[in-house]
Amino acid sequence: MAEHAPAPVKPPFWNDPWIRAILFQAIALVVTIAFGLYIFDNTQANLRRLGIASGFDFLSSPSGFDIIQSLIPYSATSSYGRVFWVALLNTLLVSALGIVLATLLGFVIGIARLSKNWLISRLALVYIETFRNIPLLLQIFFWYFAVLRAMPAPRQSLNLGDMVFLNIRGLYLPAPEFQTGFGWVLAAFGITVVLTVLLARWARRRQRATGRQFPIFSIALALLLGLPLLTFWLAGSPLVWQIPELQGFNFRGGWVIIPEMASLLLALTIYTATFIAEIVRAGIQAVSHGQTEASLSLGLTSSLTLRLIILPQALRVIIPPLTNQYLNLTKNSSLAAAIGYPDLVSAFAGTVLNQTGQAIECIAITMAVYLTISLLISLMMNWYNRRVALVER
Amino acid sequence: MPEPRVPHSNLPPPTSTTGVVGWLRRSLFSSPLNAVLTLLAVYLLYVTLPPLLRWAFLDAAWSGEDREACRSGGACWVFIRVHLDQFLYGFYPDEQRWRVNAAVLLLILGAAPLFVRTVSSKFKVRLGLGLLIAYPLVAFVLLKGGMIGLPVVDTSQWGGLLLTLVIAGVGMTAALPLGVLLALGRRSRMPAIQTLCVTFIEFWRGVPLITVLFMSSVMLPLFLPAGMNFDKLLRALIGVTLFQGAYMAEVVRGGLQAIPKGQFEAAAALGLGYWKTMGLIVLPQALKLVIPGIVNTFIALFKDTSLVLIIGLFDLMNIVHNATTNPAWLGFSTEGYVFAATVYWLFCFSMSRYSQNLEKHLYTGHKR
């Protein structure tokens, strides 16, 4: 009789991977839910004990405090809901400006870092290594307390060409004032934009069909600048500059950038630019040198090589981490709370929370806003990534 | 009979391409644009550097006891000297400061063998793990006291660089394991675990640290049963750890994704279970791949410790800021911030340099 292999021993049920997976997940879920319930329960009890009514009714009651910078009409009689919009717009303003400035500075520094010029690339390196290793909050404090708060009083303002004034109250800039007739200039600009788009399409089609190139860039530039300027002149220059003037103890007229905003913007730009510079450098270095050589051997000029060969490939590497930096900048703008720039955290999660005591609602709204911004930016990034991703055969 | 042709000996390269002149031409004046840029840069340095050096060193006041010593127009380093003890120890009682020094000395002595190349790696691993477990306990007892005859020093008295280092140290040692666990959870095939981890990570990564700290100071008291209270420092530690743990998780996940599937399959074929596969095969390779990312997160954490000033802890940043608002020493904020910036810079820069070294040292040809 043939010998049987011993019958396989069935492993005990707790060693069955499938049962184990279910068990682990059940435990994780139960623990999470129990923890959530525990916190919910405690919060309910605490709120009852402290006599705080939860809910969002407080948003419609008047705030009773002033905000030093608001993009929409606001006064102390406005509601807490209005404070939210003012604060949100302030956050978005400083983030958007910061993103633009940091991108410009970052690209310049990143390209300087790759320069063949030894001195320039060393200077860029020193800049990067210095500013990215110093906490952002410290940089904000430095610009705010050591530089801008140390500016002279309005009467002794630093004067730049009788147009721009810098003092302890902020940076005063001339503001444009549009007269009647400026609408014509805007209309002319709109028409040229449409014209340029049509022209560019036609030029591309013609190049596809015949191979003949059209100097689209210079002609478009001439159109975009020329036509609006011509209309501006014909309409009788309907634009005057309102120059800030010293009246009594302060300046009137013009635009003012408050020191809180200026220091926040400076610090955010300088700090984030170091990271962007490194991203740009890495992105350009990631394009292999063979690409440049191949392009040159095809007869493309060096500027065309840069525009058509190197940049599109470098951007593919640059864009995802760059978006990450934009996200970081937006979140870092919340450090405004430390110097009193009225952003979302400072004005809403700070002042409103302290006045109303609605801690949970205020913090939840604030976090939800930041989460939404993060989500939107990462959705956009994913969309872009899919568009430029390598299509491999 | 014609003479045999003797080739001329090689000519030296043209003098314009070698030596200092050659270097200058190559790297500073290779084209008109570069020449202009070089001159601009030199001018920029000429304008900024001498006044800066004069302010920081030549005209600076180094000795003295009060602000009367600082009339030279240069930097007033007396301000730093007078406040130095405060900047280092915060409000830690004078007669107890030896305990802080002892804790630092202990760490340096204990960790020194880890940085010596000749020590065997087996010993290093044991020492490292031992330190990781034992040192926090020893340091806590030393700093906080209340045992073995040491008087209690409440955490509200900790401050300055000491507090910064405590937060950074605890944050780093806690965020890395948390990040590894979260990353493993995110890569797990169990849907519930995966969802929990993804939600956790994305939540913390989506909000600014400052709102987390805000939350820990205004919402935590609501979440806990009445009467139960957390130490302020502990709250900050929890906030910083959870926040950076989420970032760490994403870094580690990058490493996990880079490990080829064959490694998992080989481990399974050898009969290794999940934890052994991860601990012995996958994580050592994955973590090595992402050392730069881990150190970057550590550096970010170190810089982020400055945010605890929002909830009223007196770390290095806050205590320097506090000293600059002292009525007896008004007007020296630049010196204070420059000092604090230098300290932060030294720590961050040495961390990044060390990680570059480590990367080179651990390099085993995994980069292709």
A134–B341 CB contact, under 8 Å: yes
Phi-psi region of A65 (alpha: psi -120 to 50; beta: other; left: phi over 0): beta
pLDDT of A156 > 90? The answer is no
**What is the average per-residue pLDDT within B220-234?**
79
Q: How far apart are the first and last CA of chain B?
A: 62
CA distances from A172 to A150, A166, A247, A252, A334 (A): 16, 6, 13, 9, 24
C-beta of residue B38 within 8 angstroms of C-beta of residue A120: yes
pLDDT of A320 > 50? The answer is yes
- CATH architecture of structural domain A43-157+259-393: Orthogonal Bundle (1.10)
**84-143 in chain A: CB under 8 A from chain B:** 115-120, 123, 129-130, 133-139, 141-142
In a domain, B40, yes or no: no
Q: Which domain holds residue B251?
A: 153-318
In a domain, B71, yes or no: no
Q: How far apart are the first and last CA of chain A?
A: 59
Q: What is the pLDDT of residues B162-185, one digit of tens each?
A: 999 999 999 999 999 999 999 999
pLDDT confidence bin for B215, thresholds 50/70/90: confident
In a domain, B70, yes or no: no
In a domain, B358, yes or no: no
**What is the average per-residue pLDDT within B25-43?**
86
Amino acid at A30: V
- Residue B164's CB: how many other CB atoms inside 10 A? 27
Taking Cα atoms as reference points, which of B258, B323, B87 lies closest to residue A141?
B323
Number of domains in chain B: 1
- Distance in Å, alpha carbon of B262 to nearest chain A alpha carbon: 21
Helix (H) or strand (E) holding B293: helix B291-304
Phi (first) and psi of residue B205, to 5 degrees = -75, -20
- Distance in Å, alpha carbon of A325 to nearest chain B alpha carbon: 13
| Per-residue pLDDT, B365 | 62
B223–A43 CB contact, under 8 Å: yes
Q: What is the pLDDT of residues A228-246, one digit of tens each?
A: 888 888 877 777 777 777 7
**What is the average per-residue pLDDT within B262-275?**
90
In a domain, B279, yes or no: yes
Predicted complex: ipTM over 0.95: no
The percent of residues above 90 in pLDDT, for chain A, comes to: 26
On chain B, the residues whose CB falls within 8 A of the CB of A28 are 192-193, 196
Q: Kindly report the CATH number assigned to the domain that includes residue B224.
A: 1.10.3720.10
In a domain, B260, yes or no: yes
Alpha carbon dihedral B13, B19, B21, B25, in 10-degree steps, equals: 80
